[in-house]
């Protein structure tokens, strides 16, 4: 197995009770079958306590949160009683890997860290310049079994490499880069649908730095006359999702009220913050379009979800300082990313709702860029 991670991945270490948040509150924890079997056979007082907290829901075994939203094994020092008594290896898979996430693609495993964790967010948003990757060959880990189409996988990965390059061209306003990401995704999706694998490289080459201005001109022409996405619609969609905390709902509602009033000026946030946020979503979601169950319009839907997330955080983050922006990104990730139903709902909206077309996004992005493109 080849393990691919962002270079900053190895910097993460849980800061435990020093963390301003806790990963053990607000979420139901899915217990994997191996851990469940171990817990059910544990003949200790802790084992009895664990078994009393296991519940089956929708075919999955879970730990249910207490009425206050905290994990039943989270003690008053914000530490895990299971880990304290039995060690980290006794944790179920969900708790053991968090805030890391894993995507397997046959002989390649990609691993990252989620911005829903404050310490992971601190590491991600402290990155300067282009993000590098590390690769490790692990012959002791067998490839995952799958029925992926190799041509589709390599096409998606090649397109993602181009997306990374586009996203990190800091000489261009980030709104222009987002418009080009959408254009790349739409044209790449068309080639994938038609299985024109031999044309993927030529498409990627057409987005090289020397052709950025020509591509932007085509973007402007394509979205001319289109009705731009309204920032109020971004926030309204977030309010339709399952929400964990009342404070998040209040934040969204206050923002929506301000947007609806029509008196706000929304400008890009810190350039480094927005670039790192965009990278995080591209790395985590773009390659999902390679999976066998991905539909023909999944790639553009995932990229629109990425741009949606950037614009939503920007809309919510007006006037916030560096530390407050990190907290906002943590909240967004915890509320949106850590509920797969929420992610699926937004990708579906990006695909099916006429308010969120590529043209509508580009009309907003190219009509509100903070600075002109220069040769």
The beta strand positions in the chain, using DSSP E, are 2-6, 29-30, 54-57, 60-63, 100-105, 108-113, 133-137
More confident call, 160 vs 57: 160
In this structure, the number of other CB atoms found within 10 A of the CB of residue 56 comes to 10
Position 371 scores a pLDDT of 37
Instruction: Give mean pLDDT, residues 115-137.
Output: 94
| pLDDT-derived band at 26, boundaries 50, 70, 90 | low
Gap between the Cα atoms of 201 and 306, Å rounded: 23
Instruction: Give mean pLDDT, residues 271-282.
Output: 96
Helix, strand, coil share (%) of the chain residues, nearest 5: 55, 10, 35
Kindly report the CA angle at 255 between 235 and 298, in degrees rounded to 5? 15
Position 272 scores a pLDDT of 94
Instruction: For residue 73, count CB atoms less than 10 angstroms from its CB and return exposed for 0-12, middle for 13-18, buried for 19 or more.
Output: buried
Position 320 scores a pLDDT of 94
Instruction: Give mean pLDDT, residues 303-332.
Output: 96
| pLDDT-derived band at 241, boundaries 50, 70, 90 | very high
Position 24 scores a pLDDT of 66
Element (H, E) at 303: helix 298-316
| pLDDT-derived band at 39, boundaries 50, 70, 90 | very high
| pLDDT-derived band at 101, boundaries 50, 70, 90 | very high
Q: What percent of the chain has pLDDT over 70?
A: 95
> φ, ψ for residue 272 (rounded to 5)?
-65, -40
Q: Which of 122, 126, 128 is nearest to 326 (CA)?
A: 122
Whether residue 256 is predicted with pLDDT greater than 90 in this model: the reply is: yes
Position 368 scores a pLDDT of 47
| pLDDT-derived band at 145, boundaries 50, 70, 90 | confident
Q: What is the tens place of the pLDDT at every residue in 73-91?
A: 888 887 888 988 888 888 8
Instruction: Give mean pLDDT, residues 297-318.
Output: 95
Q: What is the tens place of the pLDDT at every residue in 161-201?
A: 999 999 999 999 999 999 999 999 999 999 999 999 999 99
Gap between the Cα atoms of 289 and 40, Å rounded: 38
Distance, CA of 42 to chain centre: 36
Position 244 scores a pLDDT of 86
Instruction: Give mean pLDDT, residues 3-29.
Output: 81
Gap between the Cα atoms of 137 and 143, Å rounded: 11
Position 373 scores a pLDDT of 35
> φ, ψ for residue 137 (rounded to 5)?
-90, 125
Gap between the Cα atoms of 36 and 59, Å rounded: 13
In this structure, the number of other CB atoms found within 10 A of the CB of residue 240 comes to 11
Helices (H), 91-170: 93-97, 118-125, 150-167
DSSP sequence for 21-51: S-TTBSSPEEPPHHHHHHHHT--SHHHHHHH
Rounded to the nearest integer, the mean pLDDT of the chain is 90
The three-state DSSP-derived secondary structure of 59-87 is: CEEEECCCCCCECCCECCCCCEHHHHHHC
Q: What is the tens place of the pLDDT at every residue in 213-239?
A: 999 999 999 998 899 999 999 999 999
Q: What is the tens place of the pLDDT at every residue in 52-73?
A: 888 888 888 988 778 877 888 8
On whether the CB atoms of residues 239 and 220 are closer than 8 A, the answer is: no
Instruction: Give mean pLDDT, residues 262-277.
Output: 90
Q: What percent of the chain has pLDDT over 90?
A: 69
Q: Tell whether pTM > 0.85.
A: yes
Position 3 scores a pLDDT of 95
């Amino acid at each position: 197995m080849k393990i691919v991670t962002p270079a900053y991945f190895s910097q993460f270490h849980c800061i435990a009770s020093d963390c301003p948040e806790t990963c053990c509150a607000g979420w139901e924890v899915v217990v994997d079958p191996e851990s469940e079997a171990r817990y059910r056979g544990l003949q200790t007082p802790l084992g009895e306590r664990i078994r009393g907290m296991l519940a089956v829901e929708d075919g999955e075994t879970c730990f249910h949160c207490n009425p206050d939203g905290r994990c039943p094994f989270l003690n008053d020092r914000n530490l895990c009683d299971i880990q304290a008594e039995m060690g980290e290896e006794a944790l179920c898979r969900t708790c053991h890997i968090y805030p890391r996430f894993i995507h397997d693609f046959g002989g390649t495993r990609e691993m990252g860290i989620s911005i829903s964790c404050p310490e992971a967010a601190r590491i991600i948003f402290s990155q300067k310049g282009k993000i590098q990757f590390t690769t490790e060959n692990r012959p002791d880990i067998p490839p995952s079994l799958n029925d992926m189409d190799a041509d589709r996988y390599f096409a998606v990965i090649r397109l993602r490499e181009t997306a990374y390059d586009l996203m990190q061209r800091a000489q261009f306003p980030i709104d222009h880069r987002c418009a080009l990401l959408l254009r790349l995704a739409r044209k790449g999706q068309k080639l994938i649908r038609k299985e024109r694998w031999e044309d993927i490289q030529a498409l990627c080459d057409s987005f090289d730095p020397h052709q950025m201005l020509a591509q932007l001109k085509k973007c402007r022409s394509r979205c001319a006359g289109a009705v731009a996405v309204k920032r109020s619609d971004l926030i309204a969609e977030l309010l339709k999702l399952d929400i964990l905390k009342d404070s998040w709902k209040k934040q969204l509602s206050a923002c929506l009220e301000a947007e609806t009033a029509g008196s706000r000026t929304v400008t890009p946030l810190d350039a480094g913050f927005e670039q790192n946020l965009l990278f995080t979503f591209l790395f985590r979601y773009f390659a999902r379009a390679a999976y066998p169950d991905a539909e023909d319009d999944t790639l553009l839907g995932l990229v629109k979800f990425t741009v949606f997330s950037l614009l939503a955080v920007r809309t919510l983050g007006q006037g916030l300082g560096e530390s407050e922006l990190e907290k906002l990104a943590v909240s967004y990730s915890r509320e949106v990313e850590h509920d797969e139903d929420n992610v699926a709902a937004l990708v579906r909206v990006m695909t099916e709702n006429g308010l969120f077309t590529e043209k509508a996004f580009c009309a907003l992005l190219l009509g509100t860029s903070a600075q002109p493109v220069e040769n």
